[in-house]
Structure 1
Amino acid sequence: MEDRDWTILKVLYEQRNVTKTAQHLFISQPALTNRIQQIEKQFGVQIVQRKSKGIEFTPEGEYLARCADEMLLKVNHIKDHALNMRNQVSGTLRLGVSNYFTRNKLPGILELFKKNYPDVEFKVVTGWSRDVLNLAYNQRVHIGFVRGDYAWGDRKHLLFEEQICIASRNEINMEELPALSRIDYQTDYLFKSLMNNWWSENYAHPPFIGMEVDKVETCREMVIRGLGYAIVPTLVLEGFTDMHKVTIADKKGQPLIRRTWMYYHEESLQLNLVQAFVQFVQQLDLSRPL
């Protein structure tokens, strides 16, 4: 069976809809239906049954769909090692990257690396740090860029540290914080826990959440316009000099820190591509704009 057939099974299982799967894979619906029929013919089983609201996988189809991830992973590993035998830095580097790092650091890193190694291509998967951690752990990606101190038993490199601060347009009285309007944003659970623990250590009343937005950049824009305060890592405020910032600390007076890491497996360094990229990133000063 071809690689694309395993990809079809994987996406079809995720979407549970032929039309959406065809759109996702950029192929026509008749072509997709034909490939499904060919897969069924090859294995001699029915994979899906059409329902009024989509499709339903048969037990045989469920089994093949679960095999798809494993088969695609094996194919990627085979390709990696085959290219590695050339003793050149080439191939496709698979990266898992946290959302904020993707927007603010990754483009510059990839641009600089591509100048040194023009034969390299990139496949980037973005998401919350916990999801990126799982991708790296299960070797779905070569390297994971993760914000936060997650447990990791293999190789890692500290990229930079950020202090956590209260950001506002104007100076505020910290004792009055519970009564002031706070702007919250979606973030990973580890950072959320860090903020909640600090708050419970310092205030008896919950914060007044005046606004909830999707991204930290949106939150920053609201703060700039004086619509409330926010608790953010300092990197978010990079380049915004007219903001009022108060760094926060734990009960021992130690500043709250958020670290960003590069996680990877020792065995992946056997690939010239991964080794070159790891060494390249280790030489960068990511605490500053690229």
Structure 2
Amino acid sequence: MLSKPIFKQTLKANIKLWLIFTIIMTALHIILIAVFDASTISDMSGMVKDTPLANLLGEATFLGMLSKTFYGIQGVLLPIVFIIMTANSLIASQVDRGSMAYLLSTPTKRSTVVLTQAVYLITSLIVMILIITLAGYTSIHLFQGDVDINMTNYFMLNLGLFLLMFATSSISFFFSCVFNLTKNSLAWGAGIPMAFFLLKLMGDVDSSLEKLKYISMNALFDTHAILNGGNYTIQFVSLAVIGIVLYSLGIRVFKNKDLPL
């Protein structure tokens, strides 16, 4: 069961942070769409040819550029930071500060509290990605109306981004449920997602380090397969399963663990 009062309170407490990240990500997405020019990307590709930066530019196509920039760096890193901050504040930070003790002193069950917090985090990501997708869709028609763009691939990129963030948020939420201290929650809940991001980025930048990215869960968001007709169903399902399993485990751990109440 969910608690509407707890959900509203959580929404009120986190709305400013959510708005900041959503606005920044949406603005970056719109700017990248607006400034895209195939000839410019080709010129840049020539300038950085035979350097590690060449791998970051991707193909000289609209979606190829977005897949290496927004869907490879900004659109992944920014929501990871949002997830880390929010997931910790939802459970571990409240236990650490003692506010969780006050909340659980009411007739509200632990299961209701932790489930409501999980639903808030997932919902915040869904709405965030939806806003970015709609803004991007509108911007494509405004700024790139004369460019042939496979919109199905564009929507699949956004779906893949959400599934990656869903799985990433489950990691941070799980450790927020496991630990009673913020420092421990952040050490694991921030350390693992950031390590995954950096390993994937290093593998993309330097071909000699390519194997590193396959250690990262982020490699399951295979933008190359999406844009080139590859099979990415298994990867998408894997991200969804990771998210469901870790959210479920986190909820179970919090319900059964000893709390300093």
| TM-score, normalised via structure 2 length | 0.21
Structure whose residues are more often strand by fraction:
1
Pick the structure with more helix per residue: 2
What is the TM-score with the length of structure 1 in the denominator?
0.19
Q: Which has the higher contact order (CA 8 A, sep 6+)?
A: 2
